[in-house]
Structure 1
């Protein structure tokens, strides 16, 4: 089955570009539309009702742009809203949730850390997943302030370093050997995180797994492009476009639009 419509990707801001990048690397011929709802970031401090409403708004925008598949490139939106999205819209959705399973399965110390938003850690979906690994101690830490610093372009600020040290040191002291990044913004912090963590602690994010699942869903349901109408990915943002342009290294068009 051939389908030349684009893949839609949305996040509460620029963080989901880490997911988009993994998808684009695996499926370079597919057209993509990325939606950054930076005006409403971070989602992690909002109520479930607010997150569902914002997620539906984003989906409506992507459907207006004829997307064949939508990737919810936000842990908070996935864990709080994907059930409602799948119920309300007749289109395949791919979600992203913290990669607890590979960390818990491979951990030798049976202690893993997860750095995520409050909205993700408090969600029913996250807690159901965590309950499957009762023999593993999961050290949970809300990354208060991290998303906002990234959205403001303060990726390498002293404040960022100070926050990361305060969040990660208790995990180090608890003898974790895996750190799960439970927010799509956080892969951009890996260089700073590596400076703080001992070398033996492995960092896991969900980008490659989501890209492989996207490929599977295209094969089974949505259809691949024929590759004849290649075009640059399009990025939409509703606030602070300079930060998104910087993250993308000015390689692609960024359109500021109120949605």
Structure 2
């Protein structure tokens, strides 16, 4: 049986990349809901409908577990989906606790989409782990659209980040949590602007949790890619490969 991983677009490929490193003998389906990206600009009700449809697709395609590789979709829908479906459904959780535990002597900035920043799941997480009131939140909605256009460190991207982060005094911050899987493609841009700040994401923690909730198999590794239920091939597959190559290159240089 397969492991399903999905996102509103290509952000969740960073979660798939982590899964392929840690689970080399599993088979995957990756589903990018390109018809509806970005989720961060949709209503909660719309997102719940999209997620429900995708999970049913994954079940119909023989998945034994499903990873919602999207913080926005997790915030909006994971609790409802776990009640509805009798299959392990793993959501994303921003690495806020890890940031507080590792760098809690300094402030922590969490970057995410507007729905994630305002969502009850995020606010409950911060309340639970931020005992010293060190965590701040900021929404960076434009980064999702930049990522979908494969525009990662252009002058426009850097100008957007500088403006969005200008109100924070980064001498006070020790870490920056990437609370959207699309944001992982911009690690080099964040590092360029904030070289002394530690960057954290929730990808490894998500896959570690997945591993605890599935029976591992010894299969020949494979991935099937879908854009909104349509099997990917040709130029679309080449596009996906470029994103995966970018993730690999950033890992190779230690970002």
Shift of the 173–26 alpha-carbon distance from structure 1 to 2, 3 Å rule, reads closer
Assess, with a 3 A threshold, how the Cα gap between structure 1 residues 158 and 101 changes in structure 2: closer, same or farther: same
Given the alignment, which residue of 159, 164, 167 partners 2:161? 164
In structure 1, the residue corresponding to 2:222 is in which secondary structure? coil
* 1:40-59 pair list within 5 angstroms: 40-59=36-55
2:8 to 12, 15, 29: 12
Q: Summarize deviations over 1:100-139 as a string: whole Å, max 9, x none.
A: 1111223244411011000101111111111121413222
Q: What residue number does 2:253 align with?
A: none
Structure 1 residue 231: Cα displacement: 4.4
- Backbone CA RMSD of aligned residues: 1.9
Return the TM-score normalized by structure 2: 0.88
Please give the alpha-carbon distance, in whole angstroms, between the structure 2 residues aligned to 1:115 and 1:150. Answer: 15
User: Which of 144, 155, 160 is 1:147 aligned to?
Assistant: 144
Q: 1:183 matched to which residue of 2?
A: 180
CA contact (8 A) 2:40 2:141 kept: no
Q: C-alpha displacement at 1:35, in angstroms?
A: 0.2
Q: How many equivalent residue pairs?
A: 239
The residue aligned with 1:226 is 218
CA contact (8 A) 1:75 1:97 kept: yes
1:192 equivalent in structure 2: 189
Give CA deviations for 1:82-104 in whole Å, capped at 9, x if unaligned. Answer: 00110111100111021111112
Secondary structure at the counterpart of residue 40 of structure 1? coil
Which runs of no fewer than 5 residues in structure 1 stay unpaired? 251-259
Distance 1:214 1:6 in 2: 13
Instruction: Provide the TM-score with structure 1 as the length reference.
Output: 0.87
Q: 1:103 aligns with which of 91, 99, 102?
A: 99
Structure 1 residue 74, shift from structure 2 partner:
0.3
Offset, 1:17: 0.6
Instruction: Tell me the equivalent position of 2:32.
Output: 36
Extract structure 1 runs of 4+ deviating beyond 6 A.
none
